[in-house]
Amino acid sequence: MERLRTLRAPLTWRIATVNELQPETTHATTLVLDVPDWPGHLAGQHVDVRLTAEDGYQAERSYSIASPPEDSHLALTVENIADGEVSPYLTGVLRAGDELELRGPIGGYFTWEVADGGPLLLLGGGSGLVPLMAMLRHRDDARSVEATVLVSARTWDDVLYRNELAKVVENDVTVHYTLTREQPPGWTGWAGRVNEEMLRASGAEPSRQLRVYICGPTGFVEHVADLLVQLGHNPHDIKTERFGPTGG
Amino acid sequence: MTVDAAELHTDGNAAAGLLQQIFMAEFTTLERTCQSCGDRNPAGAHLCYEGAGIVLRCPNCSDVGLRLAALPDQYVFELRGTWTRRIES
């Protein structure tokens, strides 16, 4: 019932104020925002951000929430798409103290709460790691929930939250990496697209009754979901969120 | 920029903001039983194609489940299959 109540929210545009900007990688920045009267959110939800030009032209994009429900600030991690309309502004022009129009939280399907339990298998491609990070952060105190993360990125420098991922390992989270384009010298992680062997090594046996979340570009999500179905997973037990080509 | 055909769609999560705005309620957890293949899936799991409007398709058989057109003064909907919405009493 609590969840139903949370989900019956009319959607209104709010004015958020940028509290802080945290560079994550050369292409991604986390916006830490103060949002007056924020109704609260679930890990995995997103917001719509709207920019309005002086001539009235508006551009709208969706960004996953990176912060857990417990945080007092709302954090969004935005990947800069060079020819995009919105992300270059958010990652390059926006400064602390600036205001930003957003609405949310949005979505109820791709969400996870501690009460939902585990074991969790989180599979993130590129910036698809963002909502999964909110889930991991939300899990922080619930070590009883077993969690495995498989991070797929082009290069080591493209991996979001690297320092924090190194720390969650101490919190009983298993983290695997695969780098698809380039691996640093002495790399001991995986290389190339996610394959069946990586999924098996991440504990993806259908008999474990996992809670599976896949997020990333459409091609990544469908490739990984197809592999899991081939391994014997029920498609209905796999939650997916696809980022399209119109990011930016 | 070339776009892979597989990248041309997203899923129901991508349309969630607009659908929540119109329906005044979270939309991605609404379940739909497909009139074509009988599979039951939440709206968030449906494939989403955006163009002049929004089309949600069954993730199992690709049959159309929702069509939405945004006109200057109204939204026009067409829903197919059995959509189930639970409202707290």
pLDDT digits 0-9 by tens, A100-152? 999 999 999 999 999 999 899 999 999 999 999 999 999 987 788 999 999 99
AA identity, residue A117? G
* Whole-number pLDDT of residue A7: 53
CA distance A84 to A123: 25
Residue A35 CB neighbours (<10 A): 17
Closest CA–CA distance from residue B60 to any residue of chain A (Å): 9
Cβ separation B44–A108 shorter than 8 A: yes
Q: Is the pLDDT of residue A1 over 50?
A: no
Chains A & B: contacts with CB separation below 8 Å: 90
- CB distance B28–A240 less than 8 Å? no
Of B26, B42, B88, the CB nearest to A1: B88
pLDDT at site A3: 52
Q: What is the pLDDT of residue B1?
A: 43
- What pLDDT is stored for residue B4 in this prediction? 57
Q: How far is B59 from chain A (nearest CA, A)?
A: 9
Q: How far is CA A84 from CA A49, A100, A131, A140, A226, in A?
A: 14, 17, 21, 34, 30
Which residues does chain A have within 8 Å of residue B7's beta carbon, measured at their own beta carbons?
A: 217-219, 244-245
Token reading at A140: 């922080």
For testing the chain B interface, which of A2, A5, A11 should be mutated: the one with the most B CBs within 10 Å?
A11
Strand partners, A51: A59
Predicted local confidence at residue A117, as pLDDT: 92
Q: Does B33 touch chain A (CB under 8 A)?
A: no
- When pLDDT is cut at 50, 70 and 90, the band that residue A4 belongs to is very low
CA–CA distance, A160 with A112 (Å, rounded to integer)? 20
Q: How large is the average pLDDT for residues A89-94?
A: 94
Q: Could you report how far apart the first and last alpha carbons of chain A are, in Å?
A: 36
- Position A246: which residue type? T
How far apart are the CA of B6 and the nearest CA of chain A, in angstroms? Answer: 6
Binning pLDDT at 50, 70 and 90, where does residue A60 land? very high
The yes-or-no verdict on residue B3 having pLDDT over 80 is no
Query: pTM for the whole thing?
Result: 0.94
Of all residues in chain A, what percent carry a pLDDT higher than 90? 87
Tokens for B7?
């990248």
pLDDT at B2 over 60: no
d(CA A77, CA A33): 11
ipTM over 0.85: yes
Tens digit of each residue's pLDDT (9 = 90 or more) over B23-69: 888 999 999 999 999 999 999 999 999 988 999 999 999 999 999 99
Per-residue tokens: A151: 């991070």
**pLDDT single digits (tens) A186-236:** 999 999 999 999 999 999 999 999 999 999 999 999 999 999 999 999 999
Query: Is A244 part of the contact surface with chain B (CB cutoff 8 Å)?
Result: yes
Burial class for A246, CB neighbours closer than 10 Å (0-12, 13-18, 19+)? middle
A21 exposure class (CB count in 10 Å sphere: 0-12, 13-18, 19+): middle
What residue of B is the nearest CA neighbor of A243?
Answer: B10
